[in-house]
Amino acid sequence: MSATHVDSWYAASAKVFAGLPGLRGEEHCDVCVIGGGITGLSAGLELAARGYSVIVLEGRQIGWGASGRSGGQVIPGYACDMQTLARGGALADAKRLWAMSLEAVNLLRERIQRYAIDCDWRAGQLHVAIKPRQVEELRRHQHELAEIYGYGALQWLDREALNAHIRSPRYLAGIYDPTGGHVHPLNFTVGLAHAARAQGVRIFEHSLATRITRGAQPVVHLAQGQVRARQVVLAGNAWLGPLVPELDARIMPVGTYIIASGQLGEARAREIMPSDAAITDINFVLDYFRLSADSRLLFGGRVSYSGITPPNLAASMRRRMVQVFPTLADVGVDYAWGGYVDITMNRAPHFGRIGQNLYFAQGFSGHGMAITGMAGRVIAEAIAGDSGRLDVFARIPHRVFPGGRWLRTPSLMLAMMYYRLRDLL
């Protein structure tokens, strides 16, 4: 891939995607999508299948943002717990949201098969507990999903049973979800772009939207051109910025980080993670990791609420990796990278519509590998005249971050100190 992608293992191992030109002059379409990640490409693909003419504008390159550099873990559900979605008598909506999260995983797998996307899909995902109180939290989570949401697929794993999936002294118990899994996120995103173009979607890279003139026929302005459309889809997420101020106030960009170890070799890789499942602990500031197709450990963790990359990132992340897998004390780090994801105050997704023709999906809060694809589908449904499922998301209450653009970062940093301390207890 081009050097303008973040210097990650994903970029180094990505399938070739020929660069696309930037937009120049004036273009017309039914729907203009801002953002060339999974949400935007999914919306374009779904709309084109319904007969709409679609333009996708990407400010950098396809998959440049979180879609192309995430942990790649495909997990049913949301970054918030289901109780957050069911508050205020919204249990019926919460059940629909849970069902849509399962559909999101199935949609991702269906697209991989339908469009022959080579992205190293592997089935299986675990949440693991570090402390006794977290063991009880996982028990309650398993019970809640089975009894309230009818999801009985989760398998309880005590410490001994965990050895079939992960061999680490750090974890006390876990729950295994056969529905989840993991992928190469950049290759998946590039595959969606190829599929969308084959359906007639026009994609322009290096085409940063700078302003939107709202109205019955909105106009999206760029440095050297503009797009006139009937509808606009906002899929910029953490990179939306001041383009739509009323949305920017409800999300906050947060830095997240990943390393790729040196190649372990197949035997050593399976020695530490026999089932090749994706794994996430349940700390608030969590660790998540999985094996790559070339037998590296891809290990994510740490967050930066200040927007400043932590010093000595590779070394500090390697220490976390060795804390989980002491047998990797001799293994180095070949890649270390990071970037922004967008979070909401309650960690629930923020989807909806502004006026009659501006649609948006954001606030995936680090849990977007599957639900981003679903976001594109429900927005396409709404544009085509059926807003029922988008309205379920739109009813989730969201608050603005306190302190405005300049004070919300220090305010959130203070709040996060509490959760970091709690992780240690």
- What distance lies between CA 84 and its chain's CA centroid? 19
**Structural domain containing residue 349:** 9-410
**Does 62 map to a domain?**
yes
**Whole-angstrom distance, CA of residue 43 vs CA of residue 170:** 41
**Does 207 map to a domain?**
yes
**Does 425 map to a domain?**
no
In this prediction the pTM is 0.94
Residue reference for tokens 């290759």 = 187
Name residues whose C-beta falls within 8 Å of residue 44's C-beta, 6 or more positions apart in sequence.
31, 33, 54, 56, 196, 199, 201, 203, 376
**Does 203 map to a domain?**
yes
308: left (phi over 0), alpha (psi -120 to 50) or beta: beta
Q: Report the alpha-carbon angle 276-278-281, nearest 5.
A: 135
**pLDDT tens-place values along the chain, 425 residues long:** 444 788 999 999 998 787 899 999 999 999 999 999 999 999 999 999 999 999 999 999 999 999 999 999 999 999 999 999 999 889 999 999 999 999 999 999 999 999 999 999 999 999 999 999 999 999 999 999 999 999 999 999 999 999 999 999 999 999 999 999 999 999 999 999 999 999 999 999 999 999 999 999 999 999 999 999 999 999 999 888 889 998 988 998 889 999 999 999 999 999 999 999 999 999 988 999 999 999 999 999 878 776 677 788 999 999 999 999 999 999 999 999 999 999 999 999 999 999 999 999 999 999 999 999 999 999 999 999 999 999 999 999 998 887 655 555 554 554 454 445 455 55
Name the amino acid, one letter, at 3. Answer: A
**Does 4 map to a domain?**
no
**Does 354 map to a domain?**
yes
The number of domains in the chain is: 1
**Does 2 map to a domain?**
no
**Does 419 map to a domain?**
no
Residue 286 sits in a domain whose CATH number is 3.50.50.60
